[in-house]
Structure 1
Amino acid sequence: MNVQKRDESTATVHEGGCACGAFRFRATGEPLRVGICHCTTCRQVHGSAFGAYAIYARGDVMMSGSLSTWRSSEQGRRHFCPACGSVAYMEFESRDEVDLPLGAFDETGLFEPDYELWCKHREPWLPRGVRPEYDEERPYQARAD
């Protein structure tokens, strides 16, 4: 098997962080996938109708700053800035991934979501049929390197 290593000098870099600037991240390359989540926890954590995330391989994201962590489920961990309360990122212990909120990136319009999760909790006024939809979690597919 021929494994190709990414040339970090030419890879796209996207940066972002929390509202107060105490936490920052630097994501290299493109995300593995981009999704919208309508689960009740994402809705409550974001104070919005859904959460939207760019999911990166853990090794493609550098982070700086202090965070607090909340165990939101058996596998889920949500990290947030203790100063301003912004959601910094989410992760699942069983996956080698980091879920970065789209609203935390410095630039807007970087990524369009590929799918929607937990649509059984979606607000009825949101459009349907725009992208693949799952009533609950989508089947997890590990990264194929």
Structure 2
Amino acid sequence: MSNDVMRSGSCLCGGVQFRVTGEPLRVGLCHCKDCRKTSGSAYQAFAIWPRQAFESEGITSTYGGRSFCPTCGSRLPSVGEDEAEVMIGSLDVAPTEGLEPSYELWIGRRERWLHPLPDARQFEQDRTAADSAADDGEPEEGREPYRKSA
């Protein structure tokens, strides 16, 4: 194994544990209704890693594409074909080093008492497919939203 950074996390009861290796592809905040409901907070903070950088142990359940522990209900990483979306709050070490959000989604739903993150890209809704790989440039008018993962 390389000398990449390894981060670990788990659910509240410890029945599900996971690890991610290396740096994430991107880090963001989402203010959409689904993220607010599933987190019980005004927003959700997450980081996206390549699927091959993610490992887990334990039994998970899924609802609406979001994974959780069936015992304690904690949100867990949602794993797709290419990417794993990890909730920053589920990581074992806090505060997290090097996981500063570079963008915010669904900013129209952001609470007025929360301020935009300095230097973070602001998206009215979801990122677009063109934004998914490199986080370069603003989304263009007329592009289809991309919600494979945030």
2:43 aligned to 42, 47, 50, which one?
50
Matches within 5 A, 1:1-145: 8-71=1-64, 77-91=65-79, 96-108=82-94, 109-110=96-97, 111-128=99-116, 130=118, 131-140=120-129, 141-143=131-133
Supply the distance in 2 between the matched residues of 1:87 and 1:129 (Cα, whole angstroms).
24
TM-score scaled by length of structure 2:
0.81
Q: Deviations over 1:12-49 (max 9, x none)?
A: 10000111100111100000000000000000000000
Give, in angstroms, the shift of residue 132 of structure 1.
Answer: 1.2
Deviation, structure 1 residue 120:
1.1
Residues 75-133 of structure 1, C-alpha deviations (whole Å, 9 max, x = no match): xx100000110000234x5x611110000001112211111001111111101252211
SS at match of 1:48: coil
- TM-score, with structure 1 as normaliser: 0.84
Query: Which ranges of structure 1 fall in alignment gaps of 5 or more residues?
Result: 1-7, 72-76
Give distance in 2, aligned partners of 1:115 and 1:67.
28
Q: Structure 1 residues 129, 104: CA separation in 2 closer, same or farther (over 3 Å shift)?
A: closer
How many residue pairs end up in the alignment? 130
SS of residue in 2 equivalent to 1:125: coil
> Which amino acid in 1 is paired with 2:44?
G
Question: Aligned residue for 1:5?
Answer: none
